[in-house]
A = this chain, B = another copy of it.
Amino acid sequence: MPPAAAPALIDKIVLANRILYRQGVVDAFGHVSARHDRSPDHFLLSRNMAPGLVRRDDVVTFDLEGAALDAGERRVYLERFIHAEIYRARPDVQAVVHSHSPSVIPFGVTQQPLRPVFHMCGFLGDGTSLFEIRDVAGDTDMLISNGRLGAALAATLGAGTTVLMRGHGSTVVGASIEQAVYRAIYAEVNARLQIQARQLGDVTYLSAGEAAKAAAVNDTQLPRVWDLWTREVGKID
């Protein structure tokens, strides 16, 4: 069991859950984790519950096998392996958001990548990858419920920021909680805009150069938007 994580990190995880709920990215389902700040082979994730209700006492410590170290009687998420295997495969990743955000789902089920429509979504680069679970395990319940499926998902994510999961949702990663939450919210925004733009005609997406430059600027704006979102959720406990 690693030493206690910094209280500020626990607070950010609680805030992230509440922000994602308020922004409509998660509903009763979906989850956000952060790599443990004192031990890179561990991560922090709420117990199995609706994200909008998460409190400080709900945050549980996990290892990269997906084993909970301090859950006690509390149930854990079936899909903690999404987080575990991404932290294992990606030493650069410090936070992970898994959601069923509504506008993104249509892209996974039609094998269309999200591509950056506007400058706020430069992190989408030259397009998202798609995880097709049938290719890995035939007919399943669609959930990443063990390490093998988690590793397959992480392999599909590769070095990217966002992986679509056919018939399920999506997962985004970040170098910080703020960045992962920003990406989850703006992936949803981008999806909505991309559906509408496709109805009007051929879409000019950001070029690779534009996407990279815009993403760099967006990252400098993270404190500003995190501040607004934090104020909107109010006090946490």
Contact = CB atoms under 8 A, between A and B. Distances in A.
Interface of A: 28-29, 48-50, 52-53, 78, 100, 102-103, 105-107, 109-112, 116-120, 122, 134, 138-143, 166-169, 189, 192-193, 195-207, 209-210, 213-214, 216-217, 221, 224-225, 227-229, 231
A134 B204 CA distance: 11
Contact of A196 (B49, B53, B106, B111): B106
Contact of A167 (B48, B139, B210, B224): B210
Contact of A105 (B100, B142, B197): B197
A78 B139 CA distance: 43
Contact of A224 (B28, B134, B213): B28
B228 A142 contact: no
Nearest to A225: B28
B217 A52 contact: no
A167 B105 contact: no
Nearest to A121: B167
A175 to B, nearest CB: 18
Contacts of A52: 228
A206 B117 contact: no
A100 B118 contact: yes
Given A107-B200, A140-B213, 9 more contacts: A28-B228, A49-B224, A105-B118, A105-B193, A112-B201, A118-B167, A119-B168, A122-B141, A195-B199
Given A167-B118, A195-B196, A141 B102 contact: no
Listed from nearest, the 8 A-B pairs whose CB atoms lie closest are A139-B209, A119-B142, A141-B213, A106-B197, A110-B201, A50-B228, A28-B225, A106-B196
A108 B48 CA distance: 37
B141 A217 contact: yes
A195 B200 contact: yes
Given A105-B118, A193-B106, A205-B109, A142 B210 contact: yes
A86 B153 CA distance: 43
